[in-house]
Amino acid sequence: MANRTFYNEILTDHNLHPAHKEKLPDANLILEGVNPSCGDDIILQLKVEGDEIVDGAFEGSGCAISQASADIMLDMVIGRTKEDALRLTDMFLRMIKGEVTDEELEELEEAAALHDIRHMPSRVKCAVLGWHTMEELFAEKTEK
């Protein structure tokens, strides 16, 4: 029970005091992600130089889970390479399906607070919105 309380505190803190919910004026990669089933809507903004994500932010509205998850994701990927960010995304999405090792779960740091979301199918799309948006953003950049 203490673990669940700790995870709830992480999500609540990221929702009430997001570090990255703002406009990023010098973003060079921007994509809107929408979850039509519940109305979550984020605009993910990344500043990428070479292969490194040097800054990131998001704007939009939605439930506490979508907002906290996007904020946690940005905490994790800023300062990392695109490849590493996509590796973490894969790990996060596998975590949601219950397919990660204990070591991978530990590597996901605060994102592991969403580990049990898979037991709430209607909230899974909320949790993965930011992560899927980042995947799509990098896929679009690669296609151009």
Which residue do the tokens 């799509």 mark? 136
pLDDT digits (tens, 9 = 90+) for 126-144: 999 999 999 999 998 765 4
Give me the half-sphere count of Cα atoms (radius 13 Å) on the Cβ side of residue 72: 29
Q: Across residues 4-15, what is the average pLDDT?
A: 79
Residue 55 C-beta-side C-alpha neighbours within 13 Å? 10
pLDDT at residue 144 in the model: 46
User: End-to-end alpha-carbon separation of the chain, Å?
Assistant: 48
Q: Supply the pLDDT for residue 38.
A: 85
The per-residue pLDDT for 129 is: 97
Task: Collapse the DSSP code of 14 into the 3-class scheme (helix H, G, I; strand E, B; otherwise coil) and give the result.
Answer: helix
User: 37: pLDDT confidence band, cut at 50, 70 and 90?
Assistant: confident
Residue percentage of the chain with pLDDT more than 90? 81
| pLDDT for the residue 1 | 38
Contact (CB, 8 A) for 55 and 49: no
Q: What percent of the chain has pLDDT over 70?
A: 93
Q: What mean pLDDT do residues 80-93 have?
A: 98
Sole residue written with tokens 């999405």: 93
0.85 exceeded by the pTM?
yes
Cβ contact 92:131 at 8 Å: yes
Q: How far apart are CA 127 and CA 114, in angstroms?
A: 7
DSSP 65-121: HHHHHHHHHHHHHTTSBHHHHHHHHHHHHHHHTT---HHHHHHTGGGGGGGGGGG-H
